[in-house]
Amino acid sequence: MLSAFAQAFRTPDLRNKMLFTLMVMALFRLGSFIPTPGVSTPNVQVCLAQQDQTSLLDLVNLFSGGALLQLSVFALGIMPYITASIIVQLLRVVIPRFDDLHKEGQQGRSKLTQYTRYLTIFLGVLQSSTIISLAMSGRLFPGCSVPLIPNQGPVTFLLMVIVMTAGTGVIMWLGELITERGIGNGMSLLIFTSITATLPARLMSIGRGGGWGKVFWIVALILAITLAVVYVEQAQRRIPVQYAKRMVGRRLMGGSATYIPLKINMSGVIPVIFSTSILALPPMIANFGEPTADWVLWIQRNFLSTSAMYMLVNAILIIFFAFFYTSITFNPEETADNMKRYGGFIPGIRAGRPTADYLRYVMSRITSAGAIYLAIIALLPTLAIIPLKLEAGQLPFGGTTLLIVVGVGLQTVKEINSQLQKHHYEGFLQ
């Protein structure tokens, strides 16, 4: 591993890509500390110190690296882009035009990327307006004694919306710069940066509170879950495929044997993110209601991350979205038709519809295991709070964060490894 790192930095083009990626990630973190015009930074720090409960915007704050609750120019983080990407992918099922664009190749996917950018800006305007409204009304930090935005005129509101939305656009641009000129997927690496940025500070705060033993068990739990995630994310069900020999002109083609790699967790972290986003809506709505109303109190009581109802509904939604997203990303009929077109077949299975039925049967079994795995990983950190006697907001990681961090890490290592192999080096995975 260390020799692979050394070889990577000795290769000029790979070294430049890695340094460029690190520079962009540093700029992204710098933007998280620049306050939005109109925000009183000292008052924000006072409110953060007074906060004694889990924020209703913890998910967005997580993907912004803590920038949201500081109301910085990058307060929205990468969340509008994630939401826009998920919506565009889901629209492929509803709108045939979107599915046709996806099948058109590079030109069609560029068009979908353009639609995603437009939707990201729209969601940025919507989310920034909501957050600023919460900050002005004092509901972003309930019980805070000082105003976050001293001058609450319409000009200030409009200026803050423009700046936060522009920050979202800059984040998109930075992510695309990494993808084009750096190493790995830009958006994924920015999410990785946001999540890992707050981990050391949270561990230190738990340790200073007299809980260094708790820190040890948290680190051990992180390592155990990381090993489990790496094992499952790398696991595949390989379906053997053979291609019959055929004459193309005067040449005999085919006759090769290969396989279809089906991942156990085909949907990735999308079901967890989608489920968490949906469950964050009721508390968000309750934030605009009367604090003493019965329905507001019911939501505040039952939609805590540690409540049994929340965990049950979260697990059900994760399993549902795992099956739903897998059905979108993997089409057995299309795979079977492509195999039949090129003379491929699964040994013992007739080509055409029987192949599609077999692939659907295998995918349903694999997805069942993958969905249960996602639900367990998502709920395990919350269940770990009980023996450690921590508050819900004290745990420095969640199932979603670990899945993202490990997934992005594996993807980046694989890309660096492929770059090293192009230069005839061994790489990380040897």
Q: pLDDT tens digits, residue range 292-350?
A: 788 878 887 777 777 788 888 888 988 998 898 888 888 888 888 888 887 778 888 88
229 within some domain: no
267 within some domain: yes
The token pair that represents 315 in the structure block? 């697990």
264 and 179 assigned to the same domain: no
252: CATH: 1.10.3370.10
406 within some domain: no
3-state DSSP assignment of residue 130: helix
83 and 173 assigned to the same domain: yes
408 within some domain: no
What pTM did the predictor assign?
Answer: 0.76
From residue 310, give the alpha-carbon distance in Å to each of 23, 315, 369, 370.
Answer: 40, 9, 22, 21
Predicted pLDDT of residue 338: 82
276 and 335 assigned to the same domain: yes
Q: What value, to the nearest 5°, has the Cα angle with vertex 43 and ends 42 and 46? A: 90
245 and 179 assigned to the same domain: no
Those residues whose C-beta lies under 8 Å from the C-beta of residue 189, and which sit 6 or more positions away, are 21, 25, 175, 178, 182, 408, 412
Range of 309's domain?
235-395
124 and 261 assigned to the same domain: no
Element (H or E) spanning 246, and its range?
A: strand 246-248
Residue 35 DSSP label = B
Quote the percentage of the chain above a pLDDT of 90.
Answer: 5
414 within some domain: no
Cβ atoms of 272 and 285 closer than 8 Å: no
Alpha helices in 342-398 (DSSP H): 353-388
Residue 25 to residue 155: CA distance in whole angstroms: 32
228 within some domain: no
186 and 256 assigned to the same domain: no
Question: How many CB atoms are closer than 10 A to CB 418?
Answer: 12
Nearest to 206 by CA among 396, 385, 78, 52: 396
400 within some domain: no
255 and 349 assigned to the same domain: yes
Q: Which of 151, 178, 198 is the last residue of a domain?
A: 198
Residue 211 to residue 295: CA distance in whole angstroms: 37
Quote the percentage of the chain above a pLDDT of 70.
Answer: 84
- Number of structural domains found in the chain: 2
Is it the case that residue 214 has pLDDT exceeding 80? no
Q: Average pLDDT of the chain?
A: 79
Q: Which of 152, 172, 198 is the last residue of a domain?
A: 198
Is it the case that residue 59 has pLDDT exceeding 60? no
Question: Of the segments 59-73, 151-165, 238-252, 408-422, which one has the largest average pLDDT value?
Answer: 151-165
Residue type for position 377? I
124 burial type by CB count under 10 A (0-12 exposed, 13-18 middle, 19+ buried): buried
Question: Looking up tokens 């495929």, which residue turns up?
Answer: 241
Residue 427 to residue 430: CA distance in whole angstroms: 6
Q: Which of 151, 179, 198 is the last residue of a domain?
A: 198
Element (H or E) spanning 273, and its range?
A: helix 270-279
pLDDT tens, position by position, 174-208: 988 988 888 888 888 888 888 787 777 777 777 77
182 and 300 assigned to the same domain: no
186 and 239 assigned to the same domain: no
Cβ atoms of 226 and 406 closer than 8 Å: yes
67 and 193 assigned to the same domain: yes
153 and 279 assigned to the same domain: no
Predicted pLDDT of residue 391: 59
CA-atom Rg of the chain in angstroms: 24
430 within some domain: no
164 and 277 assigned to the same domain: no
Predicted pLDDT of residue 121: 92
